[in-house]
A and B are shown apart, each in its own frame.
Chain A
Amino acid sequence: MEQPVQTETWKARSLEELVCILHRIFAEDKISVEEVQELMESYESNSEEWLQYAKFDQYRYTRNLVDSGNGKFNLMILCWGEGHGSSIHDHTDSHCFMKILQGNLKETLFEWPEKKGNGEMTKKSERVLRENQCAYINDSIGLHRVENISHTESAVSLHLYSPPFDTCNTFDQRTGHKHKVKMTFYSQYGERTVCVSTRQNLALPAPSH
């Protein structure tokens, strides 16, 4: 790799190279959000490189772990069938980068509900992300819902979360009430994860509820 060590513009020529550079960046104490976002955008999606991680489920979107970043970050691929969408959720004080590898995803931003949430949540903005675009969000920016609004095309996205987290809150758009949920992986490193329970997904509360 010819890339310089300081905060320069990176160019990841393959998924493998992207992971490599991410490991180097996250080994430092200080990480620049812009640097990571530019790096993610620089990778030109090549389905041959990520097809092994792109496992679709007919009922809902899937989360497929690609790399666990030495504990510093989680890199995963999400597969969205036609019409699949997430609930409104937060990011448990972590950074979240989302890059489109295939298709399009609509991101709707919401304000945090008032303390005594009892009204419809306020939509801040919405946009449709195109192939190779990379979005960024964290809890201070707000909450979001991500959906594949296409009825004809599936979508694939690459997500980086730092630090990694496995629980978050989901929000009811009509009342602002929140619900803590545990998140799981449909597959890890290209291997399908055997589920303990059939009810594991982003929208469900923890079984101990």
Chain B
Amino acid sequence: LPAGLSQWFPALEVLDVSGTGLSELGTELLALPCLHTLLAKNNRLGGPGSLPKGLGQAPLGRSLRVLNLSGNRFSEVPPALLGLRELRSLSLGGNRLHSIPPEIQELRSLEFLYLGGNFITSIPPELANLPSLSYLVLCDNKIQSIPPQLAQLHSLRSLSLHNNLLTYLPREILNLVHLEELSLRGNPLVVRFVRDLTYNPPSLQELAGRTIKTRNVPYAPSDLPENLVRYLSLASNCPNPKCGGVYFDSCVRQIKFVDFCGKYRLPLMHYLCSPECSSPCSSASQSSTSQSESDSEDEASVAARRMQKVLLG
């Protein structure tokens, strides 16, 4: 890029340098205070120094809203762009990413994130800390599981997960009330009932922790070593409404199928605190052993009906 760029075109708002063979975007961009859209698809970007240092602090860092770096050679999300606090749309499709850094949560204004066509194997739970994210594309990667925290993405309208390595989904996915599109094809989703047989019984520490939580035994930070205070804060609630218990590390992983009127069967992973617990997400076609299960089914089946309308086969 020519060195005088920001002097010749100080009012530049949109810059498209796609398909120009660039291997780095230099500091000449930093002084463009009006640039809101930067398109640099299909180039040779990806090495260290592909993006200019100090990007987040420069005038460009405050004005940039849309950044498209798809079709390049990035093997990691360039740290330089994590300072773009006003960025609304980021595309890194068709690169060589193997992971998503937890620091992705620093892109506080992000609404649109395209990461399709990479080699990503897992999703950091920190991704769920993007409050405005409405469109998330993770298709054509190597993702094996979805963290349940993703259900905290209340603004999510479209989630693209097709062509990955998912065998099940977390049941919390039913909580995404604004979801209108969900693609799951091309995943080896389990079709038969699977029970994880390796249940490790809870440790003494876990049993003590469970008792403190379920009996509301009062404690103050001064009563316990810091590591135990932290441990107690990590309790997860058992989704079984008849249980009301908590678990820490020891839980039963159980795949239950949510059946959408015989059209789609989604395997959802439930974490229960003991083998005696049962999940509230029972399939309508599976026979319930207890009457009490049917009360909790209403909420789950409403969510399931809504999700049915969203699924793309």
Residue ranges of A at the interface with B (Cβ–Cβ < 8 Å): 58-60, 82-83, 85, 87-88, 149-152, 170-175, 177, 179, 198-199, 201, 203-205, 209
Q: Which residues of B contact A172 (CB under 8 A)?
A: 263-264, 313
Residue ranges of B at the interface with A (Cβ–Cβ < 8 Å): 41-42, 70-71, 91, 93-94, 112, 114, 116-117, 135, 137, 139-140, 157-158, 160, 162, 180-181, 183, 185, 189, 191, 262-265, 308-313
Q: Do the beta carbons of B309 and A152 come within 8 Å of each other?
A: no
Q: Do the beta carbons of B185 and A173 come within 8 Å of each other?
A: yes
**What DSSP secondary structure best describes chain A's contact surface?**
loop
**What DSSP secondary structure best describes chain B's contact surface?**
loop
Bound-complex Cα distance A152 to B71 (A): 6
Of B114, B185, B264, the residue contacting A177 (CB under 8 A) is B264
Q: Which residues of A contact B264 (CB under 8 A)?
A: 172, 175, 177
Q: Do the beta carbons of B93 and A58 come within 8 Å of each other?
A: no
Bound-complex Cα distance A177 to B160 (A): 21
Q: Give the distance to chain B from A71, nearest Cβ to Cβ, in Å.
A: 31
Chain A, Cβ-Cβ closest to B134: A59
Chain B, Cβ-Cβ closest to A209: B309
Q: How many A-B residue pairs have CB under 8 A?
A: 77
Taking A82-B93, A152-B71, A152-B94 as contacts, is the C-beta distance between A203 and B312 under 8 angstroms? yes
Bound-complex Cα distance A87 to B137 (A): 17
Q: Do the beta carbons of B137 and A83 come within 8 Å of each other?
A: yes
Q: Do the beta carbons of B71 and A151 come within 8 Å of each other?
A: yes
Bound-complex Cα distance A60 to B191 (A): 27
Chain B, Cβ-Cβ closest to A60: B181
Bound-complex Cα distance A151 to B312 (A): 19
Taking A82-B114, A83-B116, A177-B262 as contacts, is the C-beta distance between A170 and B313 under 8 angstroms? yes
Chain A, Cβ-Cβ closest to B157: A59
Taking A151-B140, A152-B42, A173-B185 as contacts, is the C-beta distance between A179 and B263 under 8 angstroms? yes
Chain B, Cβ-Cβ closest to A171: B313
Q: Do the beta carbons of A60 and B140 come within 8 Å of each other?
A: no
Taking A60-B181, A151-B93, A175-B265 as contacts, is the C-beta distance between A88 and B313 under 8 angstroms? yes
Q: Give the distance to chain B from A190, nearest Cβ to Cβ, in Å.
A: 24
Q: Which residues of A contact B262 (CB under 8 A)?
A: 177
Q: Do the beta carbons of B116 and A82 come within 8 Å of each other?
A: yes
Q: Which residues of A contact B191 (CB under 8 A)?
A: 174
Of A60, A83, A87, A170, the residue contacting B139 (CB under 8 A) is A83
Bound-complex Cα distance A198 to B158 (A): 13
